[in-house]
Amino acid sequence: QVQLVESGGGVVQPGRSLRLSCAASGFTFSNYAMHWVRQAPGKGLEWVAVIWNDGSTKYYADSVKGRFTISRDNSKNTLYLQMNSLRAEDTAMYFCANEHFDIWGQGTMVTVSS
Amino acid sequence: EIVLTQSPGTLSLSPGERATLSCRASQSVSSSYLVWYQQKPGQAPRLLIYGASSRATGIPDRFSGSGSGTDFTLTISRLEPEDFAVYYCQQYGSSPYTFGQGTKLEIK
């Protein structure tokens, strides 16, 4: 069935890096743009980044620009989020979603703490 | 950046009542890229409405969306117990793709 499964979350110290993955199945991954969205504990949703289906175009929220990089490997049906220079305010559940936000993963939790 | 402001912040209603949720944008939003979600605790958001007024697959017809330009509305015609949750609007026509802050629909 159509599915997105995130992985790679965990506890990391401020200033360190982490890479999240999102494995897609059940649909033609290479045809769709993909997004990362995050939600801090008890807070609302925040869009993080998008990558076009062919990887040619990427946009970021100002809060992560210059620190996070979105990428994809269409041969592996996988979306990535490389997170560098992590801050306490990056602590959140990170979701991946497809182009029109009708498919979401279950999320992976990232906690930035010393 | 397009700022989406949802009102009210919290809505207290009883099952069977009608719920009207508002989403106002700081500048005009393409209706094609205005969506509404429902989110329950511990779950990912669930797409309810896309293109401002089209119901997503499997969404009951008690949910409806309307509006254009800067004013959008989500209406739940007769509340069921499972409808009590947090609702978000979002626009993805102009980067950054912003969300409203959410409306919590609680049981009165």
HEC letters along B22-75: EEEEEEEECHHHEEEEEECCCCCCEEEEECCCEECCCCCCCEEEEEEEEEEEEE
B48: exposed, middle or buried (Cβ count in 10 Å: 0-12, 13-18, 19+) = buried
CB contact under 8 A, A44 and B95: no
Rounded to an integer, what distance in angstroms lies between the CA atom of residue B28 and that of residue A16? Answer: 39
pLDDT recorded at residue B73: 98
What is the arithmetic mean of pLDDT over B88-104? Answer: 96
Mean pLDDT score of chain B: 97
What is the arithmetic mean of pLDDT over B51-55? Answer: 97
pLDDT recorded at residue A63: 97
Confidence of residue A99 (pLDDT cuts 50, 70, 90): very high
Give contacts of A1 with chain B, Cβ < 8 Å: none
What is the arithmetic mean of pLDDT over A80-99? Answer: 98
Tell me whether B35 touches chain A (CB under 8 Å).
Answer: yes
End-to-end CA distance of chain B: 35
Residue A101's closest chain B neighbor by CA?
Answer: B47
CA–CA min distance A68, chain B (Å): 15
Q: What is the pLDDT of residues B56-77, one digit of tens each?
A: 999 999 999 999 999 999 999 9
Give contacts of B47 with chain A, Cβ < 8 Å: 100-102
pLDDT recorded at residue B45: 98
Q: What is the pLDDT of residues A39-80, one digit of tens each?
A: 999 999 999 999 999 999 999 999 999 999 999 999 999 999
Give contacts of B99 with chain A, Cβ < 8 Å: 44-47
Confidence of residue B1 (pLDDT cuts 50, 70, 90): very high
Of the candidates A44, A50, A104, the beta carbon closest to that of B102 is on A44
**Ramachandran area for residue B69 (φ above 0: left; ψ -120 to 50: alpha; else beta):** left
pLDDT recorded at residue A67: 98
Residues of chain A contacting B, Cβ within 8 Å: 35, 37, 44-47, 50, 59-62, 95, 100-102, 104-107
Q: Cβ distance B6 to B102 under 8 Å?
A: yes
Cis ω for the linkage preceding B81 (within 30 of 0): no
Strand order in the sheet with B4-7: B4-7, B19-29, B63-76
